[in-house]
């Protein structure tokens, strides 16, 4: 199973969440505190991803605010959190380094347009083609990526660049991380008045500030102080050359953003017991990125780590996501001196607990119980996610799963045969006839020794594609050359339409769709051009 249990996440049972979804005072308190927890964890993430993309920290913070707010209001799943992400930042950096940040803003706007179009044409429904092993590899790989991303917090400025911590600073950092994780684990057992991650951040921050413990703080990354994001049309030439520059980046960013968002949508849906919303999420992500591009943000998508923090903190409605975005804006405008004092160790501890809750530990136990191909896909997607990015990993996983499925079905085609009292030979085909099984299909028959009339019965088979049509045409030619007749029986509606459209049926009436009667269709050879 890929879904973490609500108990493991420190959240309330689903039934309680549903019953309290009317935003009672208690529910509002939980949602707002969950939003505050998410906002605190968003700050170092947004700053770090801005550095990865090669832009000013406020560009990342503005993106986290705008994308988070718009998707919280209009997104396809309450409880999801969106913002600036590392998966997009690693793509943006080359565009920024070569052409500048204004081209990035233009690419983000175009990215949003593509995502809106994906929502309009309901392309999100194709996420149902992502197999379960790919989902397992996705969450495992993403958990590892989140873990590895936290390791950068263990570096401090040095003469030749960032250096790994050592000595007292490292020990203090590790101790505070351990304390934060212990608080998050134990707090729900004592009280649920405030989210466990918020309790961990608050207690550890107080300890560090009161005792002036020398560990890195948020302010050591960068100052987060700023003003309101201002409307800004990207300063790029409106020419075909500009489009040629930003189009490839926009397509890649749109694809990565939607894949990560829709997979997060499915994962949060598993936890909250909700379905649907894919097209709405595409529209919301697209609209958010269009707005972000015009307000100086780097764009973004759903964040599985922050979404898990929100769920873990009890967030179940749109209010938590809205609160997170508004708290983040408040940090930028008025509370930056306070937020910059929060120790990074507390935020790293929260993210480590997210890693533990996100990783599908059950996938390790079932490796020997599932088909070897599925186990391979889980490992493959996990490794590719870590080494490259999420979009490539998912695409690779789907392709490998599809090839495995095609191969398995290609080996399943077989036939039983018998001779009727009238002397005709009937081949009862079992298994789908498609590109993978076309060669095996042709080897079933014996045109040289078969009687003058051969009937191919598709009761337990389906004619699926052009390769299947070509295989039938080639088989009919062999029997025609031998002076024998080939007929098809028990064609379903879809098979009949496919063959009739190809011009292969001499009888042009769909009177055998439901296997009510046995009508034999004579094959018209040469309709596909005969050859290659």
Q: Write out pLDDT tens, residues 237-280.
A: 999 999 999 999 999 999 999 999 998 998 888 887 787 889 99
pLDDT value for 118: 96
pLDDT band at 490 (very low <50, low <70, confident <90, very high): confident
Give dist(CA 519, CA 490) in Å, integer. 7
Confidence of residue 170 (pLDDT cuts 50, 70, 90): very high
User: Is residue 8 predicted with pLDDT exceeding 80?
Assistant: no
- How many other CB atoms are found less than 10 A from the CB of residue 422? 7
Residue 149 pLDDT: 85
For residue 181, pLDDT over 70 is answered with: yes
- Residue 222 pLDDT grade (very low, low, confident, very high; cuts 50, 70, 90): confident
Whole-number average pLDDT of the chain: 87
CB hemisphere CA count around 398 (13 angstroms): 12
CB distance 53 to 298 below 8 Å: yes
Q: How confident is the model at residue 529 (pLDDT cuts 50, 70, 90)?
A: low
Q: Is the pLDDT of residue 19 over 70?
A: no
Residue 45: pLDDT band with limits 50, 70, 90? confident
Query: What contacts 374, CB < 8 A, 6 or more positions away?
Result: 131, 132, 133, 401
Is the pLDDT at 514 greater than 50? The verdict is no
In the chain the domains, ranked by start, together with CATH numbers, are 25-383 (no CATH), 412-507 (3.30.750.24)
How far out from the chain centre does Cα 82 lie? 13
Q: Is 495 exposed, middle or buried (0-12, 13-18, 19+ CB in 10 A)?
A: buried
End-to-end CA distance of the chain: 46
Residue 104 has pLDDT above 60, yes or no: yes
> What SS3 class is residue 426?
strand
Q: Return the closest-CA partner of residue 77 out of 302, 244, 230, 237.
A: 302
* Per-residue confidence (pLDDT) for residue 504, from 0 to 100: 67
- Asked if pLDDT for residue 33 goes beyond 50, the answer is yes
State the pLDDT at residue 519.
60
Distances in Å between the alpha carbon of 373 and those of 363, 389, 391, 457?
A: 14, 22, 21, 32
Strand-pair category, 425-430 with 453-460 = parallel
Residues 54-87 pLDDT 10s: 999 999 999 999 999 999 999 999 999 999 988 8
Q: Give SS3 for 156.
A: strand
Lookup: tokens for 42: 């968003």
Is residue 487 within 8 A of residue 453, CB to CB? The reply is yes
Q: What is the pLDDT of residue 478?
A: 92
Q: pTM of the prediction? A: 0.78
Greater confidence (390 vs 399) lies with 399
User: Which of 149-153, 284-288, 433-437, 489-493 holds the top average pLDDT?
Assistant: 284-288
């Amino acid at each position: 199973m890929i879904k973490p249990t609500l108990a493991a996440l420190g959240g309330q049972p689903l039934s309680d969440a549903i019953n309290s979804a009317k935003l009672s005072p208690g529910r509002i308190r939980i949602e707002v505190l969950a939003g505050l927890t998410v906002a605190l964890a968003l700050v170092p993430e947004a700053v770090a991803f801005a550095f990865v993309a090669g832009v000013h920290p406020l560009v990342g913070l503005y993106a986290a605010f705008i994308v988070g707010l718009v998707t919280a209001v209009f997104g396809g799943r309450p409880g999801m959190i969106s913002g600036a992400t590392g998966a997009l930042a690693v793509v943006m950096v080359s565009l920024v380094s070569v052409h500048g940040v204004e081209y990035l803003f233009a690419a983000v706007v175009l990215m949003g347009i593509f995502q809106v179009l994906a929502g309009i044409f309901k392309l999100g429904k194709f996420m149902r083609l992502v197999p379960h092993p790919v989902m397992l590899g996705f969450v495992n790989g993403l958990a590892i990526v989140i873990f590895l991303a936290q390791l950068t917090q263990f570096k401090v400025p040095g003469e030749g660049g960032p250096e790994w911590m050592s000595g007292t600073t490292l020990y203090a950092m590790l101790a505070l991380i351990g304390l934060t994780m212990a608080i998050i684990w134990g707090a729900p057992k004592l009280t649920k008045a405030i989210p466990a991650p918020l309790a961990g951040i608050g207690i550890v921050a107080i300890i560090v500030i009161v005792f002036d413990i020398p560990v890195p703080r948020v302010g050591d990354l960068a100052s987060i102080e700023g003003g309101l994001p201002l409307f800004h049309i990207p300063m790029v030439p409106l020419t075909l050359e500009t489009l040629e520059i930003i189009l490839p980046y926009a397509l890649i960013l749109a694809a990565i953003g939607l894949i990560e968002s829709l997979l997060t949508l499915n994962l949060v849906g598993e936890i909250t017991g909700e379905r649907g919303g894919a097209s709405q999420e595409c529209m919301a992500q697209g609209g958010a990125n269009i707005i972000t591009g015009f307000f100086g943000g780097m764009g973004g998508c759903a964040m599985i780590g922050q979404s898990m923090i929100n769920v873990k903190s009890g967030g179940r409605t749109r209010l938590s996501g809205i609160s997170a975005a508004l708290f983040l804006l408040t940090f930028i405008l008025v509370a930056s001196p306070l937020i910059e004092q929060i120790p990074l160790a507390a935020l790293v501890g929260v993210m480590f607990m997210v890693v533990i809750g996100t990783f599908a530990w059950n996938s390790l136990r079932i490796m020997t119980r599932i088909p070897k191909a599925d186990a391979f896909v889980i490992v493959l997607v996990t490794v590719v996610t870590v080494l490259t990015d999420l979009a490539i990993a998912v695409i690779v996983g789907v392709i490998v799963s599809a090839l495995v499925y095609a191969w398995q079905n290609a080996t399943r085609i077989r036939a039983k045969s018998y001779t009727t009292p009238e002397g005709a030979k009937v081949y009862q085909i079992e298994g789908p006839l498609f590109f993978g099984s076309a060669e095996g299909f042709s080897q079933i028959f014996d045109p040289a020794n078969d009687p003058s009339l051969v009937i191919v019965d598709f009761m337990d088979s389906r004619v699926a594609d052009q390769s299947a049509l070509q295989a039938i045409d080639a088989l009919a030619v062999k029997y025609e050359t031998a002076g024998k007749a080939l007929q098809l029986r028990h064609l379903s509606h879809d098979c009949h339409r496919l063959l009739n459209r190809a011009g292969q049926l001499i009888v042009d009436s769909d009177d055998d769709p439901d296997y009510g009667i046995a009508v034999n269709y004579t094959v018209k050879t040469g309709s596909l051009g005969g050859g290659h």
